[in-house]
Amino acid sequence: MRLVDWLDKGASLGADAPCLTMDGESLSYGEVQALTHRVARRLNASGITPGKHVAILSGNDPVAFACVFAISRAAAVWCPINPRNEAAENAYVLDNFDCAALFFHSKFAELVDALRKDLPKLELLVCLDAEQPFAPSLDEWLAGAPDTPFTAAPVSDLAMIPGTGGTTGHPKGVMLTNRNLEAMTALTLMGYPFEGRPVYLAMAPLTHAAGVLAFPIMAHGGEIVIMPYPDIGQFLALAARHRATHTFLPPTLIYMLLDHPDLAATDLSSLQCFWYGAAPISAARLEEAIGKLGPVMAQLFGQTEAPMMISMMAPKDHFNPDGTIARHRLSSAGRPGPLVQVAILDGEGHPVPQGERGEIVVRGSLVMDGYYKNPAATAEATVDGWHRTGDIGYLDPDNFLFIVDRAKDMIITGGFNVYSAEVEQALLAHPAVQDGAVFGLPDDKWGERVCAVVQLRAGQSADPQAIIAHVKAAIGSVKAPKELEIWDDLPRSKVGKVLKKDIRAGKLASLGQP
pLDDT in tens, 441-495: 988 777 789 999 999 998 899 999 999 999 999 888 888 999 999 999 998 876 6
Find, among 418, 399, 406, the residue nearest to 480 by Cα.
Answer: 418
As its CATH architecture, domain 410-510 has 2-Layer Sandwich (3.30)
Residues in the chain where the model's pLDDT stays below 70:
165-169, 494-495, 513-514
Q: Are 364 and 310 in contact (CB under 8 A)?
A: no
Strands (DSSP E) along 105-234, which ranges? Answer: 124-127, 158-160, 176-177, 199-202, 223-226
Query: Burial of 461 by CB count in 10 Å (0-12 exposed, 13-18 middle, 19+ buried)?
Result: exposed
How is the chain split among helix, strand and coil, in percent rounded to 5?
Answer: 30, 25, 40
Look at residue 277 in the predicted model and tell me its pLDDT. 87
Mean of the per-residue pLDDT values of the chain: 92
Q: What global pTM score does this model have?
A: 0.85
Look at residue 157 in the predicted model and tell me its pLDDT. 97
Cα pseudo-dihedral 388, 393, 394, 399, rounded to 10: -80
Query: Burial of 164 by CB count in 10 Å (0-12 exposed, 13-18 middle, 19+ buried)?
Result: middle
- The side-by-side arrangement of strands in the sheet containing 124-127 is 124-127, 99-104, 53-57, 77-81, 158-160, 176-177
- Residue 436: how many other CB atoms lie within 10 Å: 28
The amino acid occupying position 488 is: D
Residues linked to residue 79 through DSSP beta bridges, in sequence order: 55
CATH 3.40.50.12780 fits 29-174, yes or no: yes
Backbone angles phi, psi at 177, to 5 degrees: -95, 165
Q: Are 452 and 427 in contact (CB under 8 A)?
A: yes
For residue 337, give the DSSP letter: P
The amino acid occupying position 434 is: Q
Whether 29-174 shares its CATH topology with 410-510 is answered: no
CA atoms of 17 and 239, how far apart (whole Å): 19
Look at residue 168 in the predicted model and tell me its pLDDT. 47
**What is the residue extent of each domain of the chain?**
29-174, 180-406, 410-510
Alpha helices in 15-101 (DSSP H): 29-45, 62-73, 87-96
Look at residue 427 in the predicted model and tell me its pLDDT. 93
- The side-by-side arrangement of strands in the sheet containing 273-276 is 25-28, 18-22, 223-226, 199-202, 246-249, 273-276, 297-303, 306-313, 335-336
Find, among 420, 468, 415, 464, the residue nearest to 440 by Cα.
Answer: 420
Look at residue 23 in the predicted model and tell me its pLDDT. 94
Find, among 176, 402, 396, 200, the residue nearest to 303 by Cα.
Answer: 176
CA atoms of 44 and 25, how far apart (whole Å): 30
The CATH class for the domain spanning 180-406 reads alpha beta
Look at residue 170 in the predicted model and tell me its pLDDT. 81
